Structures are given as structure tokens and as C-alpha cells.
Amino acid sequence: MENQPQKSFNSSVLEWVETVIFAIMFVSVVFTFAARVITVDGRSMEPTYYHGDRVLVSGFAGEVEQGDVVIVVHALQEPIIKRVVATEGQVVDFDDASGEVTVDGVALKGEMFGIENGITYLPDAPGQVLDFPQTVPDNCLFVLGDNRGNSTDSRFVSVGMVDHRNILGKVVFNLYPFSKVGRPA
């Protein structure tokens, strides 16, 4: 009879170990394929996101649309966080008089994205900046950082138009700082 409590204890321990292993595998699969926590690196998305902010990114959050914030890979050495300004087939240009980007001839005021109006210009960097107007090719996106004066984005040859295959996912939830927790605005 003394063997019965030992057997019950061993059975309980094995059940707990099995549950913990299953939970770890489930979380690993989710965070490998469905969602990732990304830490913002740099100042290119200020005032929306600051260096060190943490966001949840999903590749299964639906079609990427104008205004979405995405994580782009294989554009620069490290993944970058940018806002989608135009999608395939749209014509992008810059209006120097108003300091705004135009999509299909319509100025996109900064306030649409929670940033200042009149801060979007083509950088004065000959040979490093694309010629505009540009039509966004099929299966591509045009992205800009919200900190337009301090962002290496689709205006630059080094990033250019971003292929959909280079989108890791879109930001679906703000995690840190705690004052910003929730769905992105």
C-alpha cells in the first residue's frame, strides 16, 4: 500500500511536466509564427513610438493598408518600423510648398497620422534619394517614418519601395510604456 501514494505523486508530477512542456511549445509556436514582441530601435517613428517602446506585431493581422505601422526586414541591416503611406499602384510625390506627401495627387496631412502638418520633405541628399513622382509597383508599399526629418525610409534608394515579402507584420498592440498599452491609434 505504501507504493500507491508514490505512484500518485509521480503521476501528478508527470502531468504537470507535460502541461508545462505543452504550454512552452504553444507559446513558442505563437511567438514564432503568429506574433512577435518588437522593441523600437531609434527615433524615426517619434512621436508615435520612442526608442525602447515595445509593440506586438502580427503577420496574420489582415491586409496591410495605408496608415498601418509595419516592421520591415531586409531593407537595412536591422528591421525597421515605418508607417504605410501608399500601396501598389498609387502615385507618391512631395509638395514642397505645403511640406506634405501626396498620394494620387491628394496631400496627406500629418495630422492623419498623429504628427505635425507640413514636415514632410524630400531630403537634400543627391544620389541617395529617389526621383519623384513614383508609382508604387505591384506587391510593394511606400513607407515613411513619423519623424520625417530623421527617418531612412522609402524616400531613400537604400530602402525604396518595400516588397510585401519584406513585411514581418503590422503593429497590432502597444505593450510598453504602460501609458500607451492598447491598440494603436
Cite the active site residues.
44
> Could you count the other beta carbons within 10 Å of the beta carbon of residue 23?
10
Q: What are phi and psi of 50, to 5 degrees?
A: -110, 160
Exposure string for 42-57, b = 16+ CB within 10 A, e = fewer: bbbbbebbeeebbbbb
Nearest Cα residue to 75 out of 146, 155, 174 = 155
Nearest Cα residue to 45 out of 117, 149, 121, 128 = 149
Nearest Cα residue to 142 out of 53, 70, 43, 51 = 70
